[in-house]
Amino acid sequence: MEALVRLRYARILFEETDNNLEAETALSKGIDLCERNRMLDLKYSMQHLMARMLHKTNPKASLKAVDGMIQDVEAYRHSAWEYAFRFLRVSLSLSSSAHQDTVSALHHLQKISGMANRNGDKAVAAMSAVSEALAHLQQGTSFDAVEQAQRAVALARSHQLNDELRHVFQLTTLIQMVDICCSVLEYDINQSSEKLKVMQDLMDQRLDDPNWQADGSFCIPLSGKSTGPSSIDTGDILQVQNGTLLLSFNWLPQQDLYGLSYLLSSITLSTKNPYDGQKAEKFVHEGQRMVKSNLVEAQEVTESMVSASKRFEWRRTLYCNLLLQQVFLACARTDWDMARQTLAELREIADGLGDSFPDTIHCLMEYATGMIAQATGDLKGALVIFQSLISPLTSTAGKTTRHDPRRDSAILAAINTALILRDPAHPSHSNLTSLMSTIESSCKNNPNKYIQTAYYLVWATVQTGSNIQTKQFLQQTLMSATAINNSQITCMTLTFMSWKYFRGVVGEQAEKSARAGHAMARKANDRLWVSVSDEMLAETFDKQGKEDEARGIREEGHRVMMGLPPALRRAV
């Protein structure tokens, strides 16, 4: 009883106060008491809490302590606690961005997987595999990070038909979400849409499931081979239900998980948004509504102040990501008023959070600000913003993860800058060549095919030398844009090709080229490029004596043009 009281007292101090010294004292005395009386489960639970507590102030010492605990439980073959401590080691390691910590996390996940397969713990093996997939996606630095994640997801799926896993719907949902992320990052639009439908059906089926926990935790069952030294219920890490030992994990409450699924749904359907009834925007609006209500309304959940604060912070970050997604969706269909309005709300939150506002969101918010300025004719303002973002390209050293928003926003800012400087009349036009050289390696070798494709298009438009090289870049752009289903870049490429190679030319091929750009601009629902392609098609009709067709297209193009910002109306 005394040991349990000490554990609960220390847990309260850890979760509700900053009195770490008092908590450590309570745990140290509790651990001594447990050792004298051979209460190993309680001792391990205290050591688990001690490691988490230590990680707040001394991460390296915490990792070293966990390694020592793993050696102890491994020597005594206390498998349930070996799972617990290795998963803790993985969690602590992945909280760091250091490459060696990621390698260490993957090592421990492999150890967990091997042990789970020997013990017949299918749910543990699946949890280990999906954790490995997440590690590759979040921290991977190699080009094959997504491929490695897909292999891990396939391994997790191989256990899904097992009865142990079928009842842990949080785990099956997590596997499905990670699988969707892999397909999105592989630019497989059709496959990701199919997987999204499976996830949505799965979550609809579980909407009223009584097994949802208010705090978002879930448990996975362990086999008889994995029982602890006494297999008592310590109340947090190991639990016993109906004689079955369970390993507990913290995750997302139902409302938060559904809010996250709306964001994932919107991202998955982003490329189809201009021509499928703006479903991506409908999902993002529903996600905003749900998350905002969770931020405002009090949640009837018994949890510590620390947990409640973390939960609130997580929801606010999710809401910011939903706003950012809406900004980019509005930009993609040239709804600059909506983009500005949403960006203003996001900036208000950012100003309120100050230094605690996530860098990964801030850099993308700034890029969106510059992009809107450029798109509405404020080129000076856009350049100032882009220049502030470009600096990481030359100042950042060392390895970065495969998907790094700071690096990618810097590259995109440089590409947008090149589009401004390509005008020979621009005062800084002479800097264009050096700028393109700076981003060449970052773009050509970039795992992000959207960035790669945009770079090829910009290089083709600024190329003043070899006509053959320009054609090669345009061909590469068209192939890449088609592969990733990007109708906007396809439209821009076709329109540029029509302007460069068929301007003033009379003939069937010239008309086909102009029509192709016109059709793709309509599909992309991009008002600027609709007005440009309409005028080019009208000029083509004029050259061929098709005056009626030219008049109709030109009138429609003029109507669209009048809906553009004033600066663009003058330029078109």
Give per-residue pLDDT as tens, 47-102.
999 999 999 999 999 999 999 999 999 999 999 999 999 999 999 999 998 889 99
Q: Indicate the pLDDT class of residue 309, thresholds 50, 70 and 90.
A: confident
Provide the strand spans (E) within 376-433.
Answer: none
Pick from 224-238, 363-377, 434-448, 555-569: least confident? 224-238
Give per-residue pLDDT as tens, 460-517.
998 777 788 899 999 999 999 999 989 999 999 999 999 999 988 888 999 999 999 9
Give per-residue pLDDT as tens, 223-257.
877 666 655 656 689 988 888 899 999 999 999 99
Question: Dihedral (C-alpha) 564, 565, 568, 570: value to the nearest 10 degrees?
Answer: 100
Give ∠ CA 528-533-275 in degrees, rounded to 5: 65
Q: Which spans in 484-546 are helix H?
A: 487-502, 508-524, 527-543
For all residues of the chain together, what is the average pLDDT?
90
Residues composing the chain: 572
Q: What's the alpha-carbon Rg for the chain, to the nearest Å?
A: 28
Mean pLDDT of 179-190: 94
Report the C-alpha gap between 176 and 349 in whole angstroms: 31
* H or E element that contains 248: strand 244-249
Domain locations in the chain as residue ranges: 258-298+305-357, 448-571
551 CA to centre of own chain: 46
Mean pLDDT of 115-126: 95
Whole-model pTM: value is 0.92
Tell me which DSSP letter residue 207 carries.
Answer: T
Report the C-alpha gap between 91 and 86 in whole angstroms: 9
Q: Indicate the pLDDT class of residue 394, thresholds 50, 70 and 90.
A: low
Say if residues 271 and 254 touch (Cβ distance below 8 Å).
Answer: no
Report the C-alpha gap between 2 and 29 in whole angstroms: 10
Q: Give pLDDT, residue 566.
A: 86
Q: Which CATH number fits domain 448-571: 3.40.50, 3.30.70, 1.25.40, 3.90.930?
A: 1.25.40
396 vs 462, more confident: 462
